[in-house]
Amino acid sequence: MTPASSKTDLKNLTQEQLINYVESLGQPAFRGRQILAWIYRPGITEFEQMTDLAKVFRAVLAQHATISRFDEAMVEVSADGAVKFGFRLQDGAIIESVMIPEEDRSTLCVSSQVGCAMGCTFCVTGSMGFQRNLTTAEIINQVCAVRDWCLNHDLPPLTNLVFMGMGEPLANFENLLDALSILTEQRGLDFSNRRITVSTCGLVPQMKELGERTDVNLAVSLHAVNDTLRSSMMPINKRYPIAQLVETCKNYRQKARKRIMFEYTLLEGVNDSDADALQLAQILCQVPCKINLLAVNPAGDDAVRSPSKERILQFQKILRDNGYTVFIRTSRGEDISAACGQLAGKGWDEAKVQLNPASQPLS
C-alpha cells in the first residue's frame, strides 16, 4: 500500500472531513467535494491529475497529503470463480478479501480488522487473536482494488459488499462508519445502501447505533438457539445473551420492508434438530427477518460434521412452514480457504500481482 509518510491520507476522510481539511488549507468547501470526486475515479493517483484544481493548490496538496492505494496483491482463484486477495499492509500484516463473481454482479467480502478478538470457536480468524483495527483507508482500498480488478478482468461489476471478512466490523465502529460514508457517497464510491451488509456476532450497543446512523443491511450470526450452546461457540454471548440480542433486533431501526438477515451455521448433532428449528422459529417470531442456513465447513476437524442434505432441507422446511424466508447458502472458495470463517492471512507464497500497471487516461 502506498505511501508511508506523515502526510494526511485523504482516503481516510469522509466528505465532511475532507471539507474541513481543505478549509484548514484556506480553500472553500467545494474544493473538498471536488477532490473527493477525483480520488475515487479509477486511475487517479496524483494530485497533478486533478485538472480543475489550481496548480498552486495541487502543489500544496502534494506537500501535505497523499492518496493511498493497494499497488499489489497476492491472488488465488478458486475452481468456482471466487478470487481471494491478500493485501500486505504497511506494518507487514496481511488482510484478505474475497470476491465472488455472479452472472451480472460481483460481491466482495471485506475485512475490517487484522485478526479478531471475538474468539468464535468455528472461525480461523478468531484463532489468530486480535492484532489491530483497519484504518478507514485500509477498508476502502480493498474495495477500490477489487473494483478495478473486476473492470480490468472483464468480470461483472463490483456492486455488493458484505462485511464478513476478517474481524468484527462493529468492534472497529468509527472507522467502519467513515468507510460506509465514503462507500455510499455519490462523489465517493457510490454504492447503494441496499447492497451493503454489515455482519456482526452480536455487539448489541453498536448494533443499535448502526441502525440509527446508517441505512445499510444488518446480518447477525446466531448459530444456536440456547445460551449454553451459543456461549460455548461464541463468547460474546456471555455479554449479550440471545434474549438481549433478539430484543435489540426486534427494535432495530431500519427502513420499512428491510429485514435483518440471521446467519445459522448447521453442525450435525449440535444445532440441527427439528427441535432446534422450532425453537429458532419461536425465538425470531417478532423480528422482521430472513434466515440464511449454511452447512459447517469441517475444515479437517473430525469432531465437526456437516449435516446431510436431507437434514438441512428438513430444517429449512420447518422454518418455512412457520412463515420465514429461508435460504440455504453455499460457501464459495472452499478450495482456496476463502469460505466463511477460513480467512487467516496465512499460507500465501508471496507471489504478487501488480494491481495498477499503468494509470488510466482521464475521460
- Closest CB 141 distance from ligand SF4, rounded Å: 20
Task: Select 143 or 201, whichever has its Cβ closest to ligand SF4.
Answer: 201
Based on the residue annotation, tell me whether 168 is a catalytic residue of this protein.
no
Task: Select 65 or 233, whichever has its Cβ closest to ligand SF4.
Answer: 233
- Closest CB 180 distance from ligand SF4, rounded Å: 18
Task: Select 123 or 296, whichever has its Cβ closest to ligand SF4.
Answer: 123
Task: Select 61 or 120, whichever has its Cβ closest to ligand SF4.
Answer: 120
- Closest CB 230 distance from ligand SF4, rounded Å: 12
Out of 96, 138, 168, 263, the active site residue is 96
- Closest CB 220 distance from ligand SF4, rounded Å: 11
Out of 144, 150, 289, 340, the active site residue is 340
Based on the residue annotation, tell me whether 340 is a catalytic residue of this protein.
yes
Q: List the Cα angle 213/215/217 in 5-degree steps.
A: 120
- Closest CB 244 distance from ligand SF4, rounded Å: 17
- Closest CB 299 distance from ligand SF4, rounded Å: 13
Task: Select 13 or 162, whichever has its Cβ closest to ligand SF4.
Answer: 162
Question: Which residues of this protein are in contact with ligand SF4, per CB under 6 A?
Answer: 116, 118-120, 123, 125-126, 167-168, 201, 341
Cis omega (within 30 of 0) for bond into 205? no
Comparing every residue's Cβ against ligand SF4, the nearest one is 126
Task: Select 167 or 307, whichever has its Cβ closest to ligand SF4.
Answer: 167
User: How far apart, in whole angstroms, are the C-alpha atoms of residue 65 and residue 215?
Assistant: 31
Hey, which residues are catalytic here? Answer: 96, 340
